[in-house]
Amino acid sequence: MKIFITGGAGFIGSNFVEYILGMHPSYKITVFDKMTYASNPDTIREFRKNKNFSFIKGDILDAAHVNRAVKGYDWVVNFAAETHVDRSILGPEAFIETNIKGTFNLLEASRKSGVKKFLQISTDEVYGSVAKGKSRETDTLDPTSPYSASKTSADLIALSYFKTFSLPVLITRSSNNFGPRQHPEKFIPLFITNTIEGKQLPIYGDGKNVRNWIYVGDNCSGLDTVLHKGIPGEIYNIGGDTEEPNIKVAKCILESFCAPDRLLKRVKDRLAHDRRYALDSSKLKKLGWKPENNFEQGMALTIKWYANNTNWWLELKGSAFKKYCKKNYGARP
Ligand code: NAD
Ligand code: TYD
């Protein structure tokens, strides 16, 4: 089995590569990644030690390169995306380009080269804010931010390639992931690393926004299940069993380090901040999947990883990252 993985140098993509190399030692994996600020070259360097791993530096917006690169692979998994909601509010263009046009380029290349499965990594944010109950795969899509709207477009375009061209497309919509190697711009790693650095934790609005957290390893096993047992043309939610308001997650992080609550700082709310996400994952559970880590276990693993890998995130919070942000978004991180 030969798998072409875009965005495999980022957070979930790199955890997925590690998972597949461990679970399926005969599979050959190629990561195709532009290496934006969100990627990590050390991760790729580590993977290169495995003989079944190869790497191509490339941009999914470069259609000619994508067309050449995809040839000969059985499966394509598309993680590559601009992923931070706050950045999509500051500068939506990169999100529209990468997330929509980039996905289109990959779908076209996959159609031409006849790949046997195309897994589009989508998100629970396509459902928009959910006041009551849990989102099911058949629910109406109602995205809020330029990030979630661009992901919704990509999700629907991918499905159109199944309906129109019979490309065997599968879609996963996962809830908020946390775990090792997540960029410290995102909520949980930002709060963990700020606590370690003794900095304040900027909590948006009243802190009562709820997210349905899933440990990244459980998302990876869900993706593996969908790739091996999922039906082309189908959508699968991958949600954790925990729903928590942000303030509770923040306090749990502070408690883990015996740090004082005064580090919490209420800041101006995000524009159009979705109040709650919640996923019904029963469709995937029927294929035999279930999350193995509850929130406390996942948090313990995550905190331990950030505490033991300070060099990794200090570099990402450092000057190269700030320069990249200024150039691409005209804003500080
Ligand atoms: P990330 O930001 O950590 O990584 C994104 C990766 O994509 C990086 O390695 C980056 O270099 C690469 N990339 C960006 N633009 C590219 C381009 N034009 N060409 C090639 N590579 C490019 O993201 P993540 O959190 O790992 O998310 C991965 C996927 O999962 C995304 O599609 C995201 O929408 C989706 N998702 C994420 C979450 C979450 O909680 N993190 C939840 C649901 C869905
Ligand atoms: P984030 O990690 O950006 O994921 P998403 O917005 O895609 O769900 O944020 C998770 C939650 O944490 C979200 O409700 C926004 C909130 N948040 C803060 O309160 N402060 C912060 O500094 C960040 C980055 C997020």
Write out pLDDT tens, residues 38-72: 999 999 999 999 999 999 999 999 999 999 999 99
- Decide yes or no: CATH 3.40.50.720 for domain 2-178+214-239+272-294: yes
Residue ID of nearest Cα to ligand 2 atom 12: 187
CA of 250 to the centre of ligand 2 (A): 11
Give the pLDDT confidence of 258-303 residue by residue, as tens digits. 999 999 999 999 999 999 999 999 999 999 999 999 999 999 999 9
Nearest by Cα to 60 from 27, 18, 20, 94: 94
Q: Quick: pLDDT tens for 243-261.
A: 999 999 999 999 999 999 9
How does pLDDT run across 130-176, given as a tens digit for each residue? 999 999 999 999 999 999 999 999 999 999 999 999 999 999 999 99
Distance between CA atoms of residues 279 and 262, nearest Å: 33
Residues designated catalytic: 124-125, 147
Average pLDDT over residues 8-18: 98
Beta strands in 71-221 (DSSP E): 75-78, 117-123, 169-174, 177-178, 201-204, 210-215
* Domain extent listing, the chain: 2-178+214-239+272-294
What pLDDT does residue 333 have? 46
pLDDT by residue (tens digit) across 78-122? 999 999 999 999 999 999 999 999 999 999 999 999 999 999 999
| pLDDT at residue number 318 | 79
pTM of the model: 0.97
Q: Is the model's pLDDT at 217 over the cut of 70?
A: yes
Question: At 107, is the secondary structure helix, strand, or coil?
Answer: helix
Give CA–CA dist 177/19, Å, rounded.
15
Closest Cα to atom 27, ligand 1: which residue?
A: 12
Q: In whole angstroms, what is the distance from residue 14 CA to residue 219 CA?
A: 12
